[in-house]
Amino acid sequence: MRHFLIEAMLAEDWKFGDIWWTQCSPSVGNEFRGRRPTVILRNNQLQRREGGGVITVAAMSSYKETRGPYDFLIPQTSRNGLRMPTLLKVEYIMSYDPARFLKKIGELEEEWIERLQEYLQTHFGLSRER
């Protein structure tokens, strides 16, 4: 049964900006723990070419007291499916096996996708001009 579920999840069209409930435990040190929303960072074209593999995400947290200088406070909307305003912890980038992804919640609005892409270019020292 488990093998069938993983195959179904691998067939899912993971999109940049999708929000998924993800099982982040077990974890080590300062990594996020437990079940939490995460935002898919994986390139859509890469997914279509390679299929499965690991899925790269940024963690989300409802604990607003830990807001860092680069975190985005994402408001609750029907499109993103969040239960409350939630921090997108853009510095907490992790890659997980698809088996850790429990359920798609929603997707970020275009404004937040653009801001996230800009942040990632800065974080990784990438330039749009090549």
User: Would you say residue 45 lies in a domain?
Assistant: yes
Provide the percentage of residues in the chain whose pLDDT is more than 90: 42
Please answer whether residues 118 and 37 qualify as being in contact, where contact means their C-beta atoms are separated by less than 8 angstroms: no
User: Would you say residue 129 lies in a domain?
Assistant: no
Prediction pTM value: 0.79
Question: Domain range holding 83?
Answer: 2-123
What CATH number is given to the structural domain containing 110?
Answer: 2.30.30.110
User: Would you say residue 63 lies in a domain?
Assistant: yes
Query: How many domains is the chain partitioned into structurally?
Result: 1
Distances from the Cα of 75 to the Cα of 24, 71, 124, angstroms: 23, 13, 26
Backbone phi, psi, residue 69, to 5°: -65, -20
User: Would you say residue 128 lies in a domain?
Assistant: no
User: Would you say residue 77 lies in a domain?
Assistant: yes
Token match 């974890």: residue? 27
The pLDDT tens digits of the residues spanning 34-68 come to 788 999 997 665 555 555 578 899 999 987 777 88
Look at residues 42, 54, 63 and name the one whose alpha carbon lies nearest to residue 120: 42
